[in-house]
Structure 1
Amino acid sequence: MTSPSDDSGSARLSARRDLEPSSVLGPVGERVPDVERIAVLRANALGDFIFVLPALDALRSAYPSAEIVLLGAPWHAALWRDRPGPVDRVLVVPAAPGIRDPGPGEEPGDVADFLAAARAERFDLAVQVHGGGGNSNPFVAGLGARVTAGLRAEGAPPLDRWLRYVYYQHEVIRYLEVVALVGAPATTITPALAVTAADRAEAAAVLGEPTRPRVALHPGATDTRRRWPPERFAEVARELTGDGYEVLVTGTPAEQETVDAVVAAAGVPVRPQVGTLGLGALAAAYADCALVVSNDTGPLHLAAAVGAPTVGVFWVGNLINGASPLRGRHRPIAAWTTHCPVCGVDCTPGIYPHRPGDGECPHRVSFVADVPAAEVVEAARELLTPPQATR
């Protein structure tokens, strides 16, 4: 689409004429001719990146000879080094509002300098799968690509081909619809990340070889409203240890206190792993686990992407946007709290950073604390004991 007035009937009809109904997920736009280099902007957190993997796979299938360049963060560059998959290389974008948050001690970068250098890359296609486009669409337009495509929230400038950003949509499907605009139909809806031999060697050097099946618990989350209480994780640890599993409790250095609380409350031997595993090694550790139990946060989605069964604790709105739709290996457990447990304000609109306004309150207490441990344990045991095949 090129019209800035997406509400006009003519714009909608024009979009439909440009699309062919040839994908299981809906219409697919015309493929861009003579594409040698594709830029994809996705420079946010771990879970956000996992959600975009099927879209990257679709681009790789549609443009098999093109170089796919991820515009990301420093950790993307480290993760994707020598890793098979749809990304050929990573360009680290500057820390700037709406583009990327700065890391510890990092100063904001110069967007103009970055874009000037990026234009020398001569991108044929630039895709924005980074958000509603208020900041990211001008950034992508500044790359100078022949064709741009991406998301557009109300008030954001349009790209050449764009899709309305509607918050309540599963993230994987959202980005698959975006790449379909440029002729890249979905090849999968399941994010998958390869685990390398180097990942496995690093994990084994830290954890050793298992002497019994392992499960991992991840009790942290950047947003404290998504954190299930440590004592509930401790209860899960006790039950699964009693079932004969070795229990790892993973966390980032910022989550040390939360991990310590789980370990202290468990009362049984567990293995805390705080900052001991790099991201690739963490992926390998999860891949070798019989199960991962986690809040709705990046490590949960990483575990699923490397093939581990998962039980995730979700606030209901986040379940709509991020929980795996598959039930053979995954069990999302929903918390239905929508009013702040402290002040009683309906926080449904304001629980998301993308939608501040009505319903905002200053409290950041858990919105998932009412999920009973028994429900999580039951789901865990069901996945750990798969049904016998019937003849």
Structure 2
Amino acid sequence: MEYYDSLRDRQNATDVIPDVKKIAVLRADTLGDFIFILPALEALRRTYANAEIVLLGRGWHATFLENRPAPIDRVIVVPPYAGVSEETEFPENQNELKQFFAAMRAEHFDLAIQLHDGGRYANPFLLKLGAQTSAGLKTPDAVPLDRWLPYSALQHEIIRYQEVVSLVGVPKPVDSWPRLAVTQADLDASLAIVPAHQQFLVALHPGASEPRQRWPAAKFAAVGDALARLGARIVVIGTQTEKELTASVVQQMHMPAQDLAGQLSPGSLTGLLARCRLLVSNETGPQRVAGAIGTATVGIYWCLNMITAMPLSRLQQRPLVSWQLHCPACDHNVLYETCKHSDSLVASISTAEVITAARELISQI
């Protein structure tokens, strides 16, 4: 009851904060998750046009955002911090963190915004920055910030973070879809890995951090073969840890394909996707990047992902949804509680559905 009493009684101020010269934004995670906050950041920039916006992120943010048009002025890399920049059980270096937070207090942030998660770990981190005003999300077990909203898991991520910045007077943007600039450096880096060719490019991404949300490699291979027969040059992308998976797709294909697992940085990935006519992917970071730079996508979604990450347009985005809630191995309903198995929950989406959607998009471009 204390949580809900606080929710009713808290100060729900939504006015623009006067005289803000420096804003800290916390989001220290992956490229795909960063894409979700771009509309909120763009709106924040328009509202606080004269303030410096500093992203507290990871090392890749600093490299990726250097010389790239973006609403971020500067990136400060967050050191290993359990539950924020690392897993919750990660051993922290207390001396390093002490020096980091001392440096952050010396920044004299006027406003600190938590766009990271529900706040169990992120809110204590944010409060240590010493900003005059804090804002963000709050689960029942998280400490409150000056201005906060309750965290609901079943909400679209893009809308979630727009609502957070509305706490500090930021109006909802007219265009809610993330937009990411592609630089010449992105394109050059991708050309060094995948040289220009007369065939049009199609990328397949069979990976996903959650094994249950991976479409089978054999089905990706069948899609790759079908699109290669239409004249596409197929590239299969993934992280270093997904090499076995990407190799499986390539090995099961009858047509040629290039395995790029572990070869792409965030920049070269962006450049490559910008050159692709189409990406066929599970719901992952590359799928979000492709949507943000205007590349057509066919996305494989589990039903709960459609709630939190559904593309808002259908002009170049074709989401295909699996409504399977029971584990194929043990028939356990995984909607509220998981089981020990990792069998795919999206395998029921047919190869024919994906090929049809892909052909439609390719024919429109």
TM-score by length of structure 2 reads: 0.95
- Counterpart of 1:363? 341
Equivalent residues in 2 for 1:1-391, closer than 5 Å:
5-7=3-5, 10-11=8-9, 15=12, 18=13, 29-101=14-86, 108-110=92-94, 111-187=97-173, 188-349=175-336, 359-386=337-364
Code of the residue aligned with 2:349 in structure 1: it is V
RMSD (Å), alpha carbons: 1.6
Secondary structure at 2:70's aligned position in 1?
Answer: coil
C-alpha contact 2:39 2:162 (8 A) present in aligned 1: yes
Query: Is the Cα contact below 8 Å between 2:24 and 2:112 reproduced in 1?
Result: yes
Deviations 1:231-278 (A, max 9, x none): 000010011011111111111111111111100111111122122222
Per-residue deviation at 1:78? 1.4
The one-letter amino acid of 1:200's match is: L
- Deviation per residue, 1:70-91 (Å, 9 max, x gap): 1111111111111111111111
TM value normalised by structure 1: 0.88
Q: CA deviation at 1:290?
A: 0.8
The offset of 1:345, in angstroms, is 1.2
Q: Which amino acid aligns with 1:108?
A: E
For 1:174, give the aligned amino acid: R
Deviations 1:334-379 (A, max 9, x none): 1111111111111112xxxxxxxxx221112211111111111111
* Aligned-pair CA distance for 1:107: 6.5
1: CA distance, partners of 2:100 / 2:138: 23
User: Contact conserved, 2:225 with 2:253, CA < 8 A, in 1?
Assistant: yes
Report the CA distance between 1:10 and its aligned residue: 5.0
Cα shift readout 1:2-46 (whole Å, capped 9, x = no counterpart): xx744468527x53xx4xxxxxxxxxx200111111000001122
- Cα pair distance change 1:8/1:221, threshold 3 Å: closer
Letter in 2 for 1:372: S
Where does the alignment leave 5 or more consecutive residues of structure 1 unmatched?
A: 19-28, 350-358
Q: Does structure 2 retain, via aligned residues, the 8 Å contact 1:213–1:289?
A: yes
Residues 223 and 354 in structure 2, CA contact (< 8 A), matched pair in contact too: yes
Helix, strand or coil at the partner of 1:149: strand
Q: Deviation at 1:210?
A: 2.4
Question: Comparing 207-216 with 327-336, which one deviates more in the overlay?
Answer: 207-216
Closer, same or farther: CA 107–6 of 1 in aligned 2, 3 Å: closer
Amino acid at match of 2:18: P
Evaluate the alpha carbon distance shift between residue 9 and residue 244 of structure 1 in structure 2; reply closer, same or farther with a 3 A threshold.
Answer: closer
Task: Tell me the SS of whatever aligns to 1:254.
Answer: helix
Deviation at 1:285, TM superposition (A): 0.8
Q: Deviations over 1:204-224 (max 9, x none)?
A: 122111212111111111211
Aligned residue identity for 2:364: P
Other structure's SS at 1:312 match:
strand
Match of 1:132, SS state, is: coil
- Matched-pair contact (CA < 8 Å) for 2:3–2:140: no
CA–CA distance in structure 2, aligned partners of residues 10 and 272 of structure 1? 54
Q: How many matched pairs?
A: 359
Shift of 1:178: 0.2
CA contact (8 A) 1:5 1:11 kept: no
Structure 2, unaligned runs of 5 or more: none
| Partner Cα separation in structure 1 for residue 194 and residue 65 of structure 2 | 23
